[in-house]
Amino acid sequence: MTNIHGIIGYTITPFGANGEGVDLPALGRSIDRLIASGVHAIAPLGSTGEGAYLSDAEWDQVAEFSIKHVAKRVPTVVSVSDLTTAKAVRRARFAEAHGADVVMVLPASYWKLTEAEILAHYRAIGDSIGVPIMLYNNPATSGTDMSVELILRIVNGVENVTMVKESTGDIQRMHKLQLLGEGRVPFYNGCNPLALEAFAAGAKGWCTAAPNLIPQLNLDLYEATLAGDLGKARELFYRQLPLLDFILKGGLPATIKAGLRDTGLEVGDPRLPVFPLSEAGHTQLQALLNTLR
């Protein structure tokens, strides 16, 4: 059983000029930098990685390259969400075939899905692969909000759905997962401003793009909560909270790519229709980063 815990670092997908093509050497450098900083796992192709904005060929290219480049130094959690069950199954199989340790599934939809449809979607993906699945609840991006009761029905009904990433920003969901799941369902925080409370509620890890810019602060917060030092954890959390808020509100691809550029790693701009960070935003980001260095 893959032990996913701690700080799970989300990678960007670097593009060439005008958003054309994927810059794999830059992706490799960003992955090396994250692993060197001490993150406990790498998660390509999530919201930060603009997975929804890639062609199938590009998605395959980024998934294959990322898994190969991580080379089992830490576990990889590959986001395989897609609008149709067939495409999500294809991506999940592709990720597994290339060595992903875990796949993460967000039920993305155009039509509002019923609970039966969501369960069937997870079951079809679960039946098609052997690696663990991290169920991902993020209504802000998917338009689908899964209740804790539904999440636990899926966990109980699909053998390899073994962990949950919760990104609603509602701490009560985590308490409820802990209580109704009787402490048996590992859950992970996907909402940056909730990092402190999530660890206090028993989250096994924090899925975040922040380690691209402030890995040490993220890791120190995790270590302080593991050690049960609430005072230190609180102090560390408040130090990083202004930046965590900023990268979320400014849009993860835009803010993380701008921040990486500032640290000497050129990864291109987000892909349109997403704009790069504005000049004012850039100035604000630099000021926030300077206070943390």
Amino acid identity at 52: A
Amino acid at 169: G
Q: Locate the DSSP E strands across 198-239.
A: 205-208
| Range 65-72 contact pairs with CB under 8 angstroms and sequence separation of 24 or more | 65/24, 65/27, 65/28, 66/11, 66/27, 66/31, 66/42, 67/95, 67/98, 67/99, 67/100, 68/98, 68/99, 69/27, 69/28, 69/31, 69/32, 70/31, 70/35, 70/42, 72/99
Active site residue 204: no
Paired tokens of 33: 């930098």
Reported residue count of the chain is 293
Say which residues have a Cβ less than 8 Å from residue 108's Cβ, sequence separation at least 6. 52, 81, 82, 83, 141, 142, 143, 144
Is residue 246 within 8 A of residue 280, CB to CB? The reply is no
CA dihedral (223, 229, 230, 231) in degrees, to 10, reads: -110
Binding site annotation covers 263? no
Tell me which of 10, 53, 122, 165 is the catalytic residue.
165
Catalytic, out of 53, 72, 110, 136: 136
Q: How far apart are the first and last CA of the chain?
A: 37
Distance CA(240)–CA(193), nearest Å, equals 9
Instruction: Respond yes or no: is residue 165 known to be catalytic.
Output: yes
Strand order in the sheet with 161-166: 41-43, 6-10, 205-208, 187-189, 161-166, 133-137, 102-105, 77-79
Q: What residues are labeled active site?
A: 136, 165
Could you list the residues known to form a binding site, using ranges: 48
Could you list the residues known to form a binding site for pyruvate, using ranges: 48
